[in-house]
Amino acid sequence: MADYDKLRSRWSEALIRARGGAEQPDPLPYADNLLARWAEPQRRYHTLAHLTAVLDHVEALAEHAHSPELVRLAAWFHDAVYLPERSENEERSARLAERALAEAGLAPAAVSEVARLVRLTVTHAPDADDRDGQVLCDADLAILASEPASYAAYTKAVREEYAFVPDDAFRSGRAQILSQLLTLPRLFHTPHGVREWEPRARANLERELRSLTASQS
């Protein structure tokens, strides 16, 4: 169960620090709006639990970031708009970040950077010198390196989000996504991600892909 008070505090701290210590406008209305979005009923994986996990992973990787406060804000917005049947969720989330953070008093350059980071989660392919992008992308994909039981729960939740897709079409589409991921030279980009998460993530993806292709045969 999500700890709403703790999440509100985490949001407020990140926003105030990113604004250089300014406490106005009040951060809490923005926190409540975002928390309501992350708790929408159509979500099964992209929930408050996912938000909390990504924030926790950003903390674990913060030493690798150039502007960790902006990465934290981007984590809050990266799936703030999420409808499983739509393909432009990241773009709509980035536009929400642009509107909300400008209104909340964040400097224009910082607003643009947060929106850029949100849009980067479309591809999860940050440049070699994009330290903030690497941290956000690794934090978002860290679930791929989870223990088998957690990974199974993740795949079950993803299937539930796409319950409107017939089984054969889902298995085919999911297998294609996994195959594409496995062809990448690296799934993770930070030193921690490469060292600690890459091997287990590849093992999980390969195991799931074998299960999907066996179901199709």
Regarding whether 190 and 209 lie in a shared domain, the answer is yes
pLDDT at residue 24 in the model: 86
pLDDT at residue 22 in the model: 80
Regarding whether 46 and 32 lie in a shared domain, the answer is yes
- pLDDT tens column, 59-116: 999 999 999 999 999 999 999 999 999 999 999 999 999 999 999 999 999 999 999 9
Strand ranges for the chain from DSSP E: none
Rounded-to-integer distance, Cα 5 and Cα 109, Å:
29
Regarding whether 50 and 107 lie in a shared domain, the answer is yes
**Confidence (pTM):** 0.96
Helices (H), 68-147: 68-77, 89-103, 108-120, 131-141
- Domain count for the chain, please give it: 2
Regarding whether 159 and 125 lie in a shared domain, the answer is no
Regarding whether 99 and 202 lie in a shared domain, the answer is no
Regarding whether 54 and 134 lie in a shared domain, the answer is yes
pLDDT at 216 over 90: no
Q: In sequence order, which residues have a C-beta less than 8 Å from that of residue 32 and are 6 or more positions away?
A: 8
Regarding whether 115 and 12 lie in a shared domain, the answer is yes
Asked which of 126, 143, 160 is the last residue of a domain, the reply is: 143
Q: Please check whether residue 115 is in contact with residue 41, taking contact to mean a CB–CB distance below 8 angstroms.
A: no
pLDDT at 215 over 80: no
pLDDT at 217 over 60: no
Q: Please check whether residue 117 is in contact with residue 136, taking contact to mean a CB–CB distance below 8 angstroms.
A: yes
Regarding whether 188 and 133 lie in a shared domain, the answer is no
Regarding whether 105 and 156 lie in a shared domain, the answer is no
Query: Structural domain of residue 168, as residue ranges?
Result: 146-216
Q: What is the CATH number of the domain that holds 135?
A: 1.10.3210
Regarding whether 85 and 117 lie in a shared domain, the answer is yes
Return the amino acid letter for 104. Answer: A
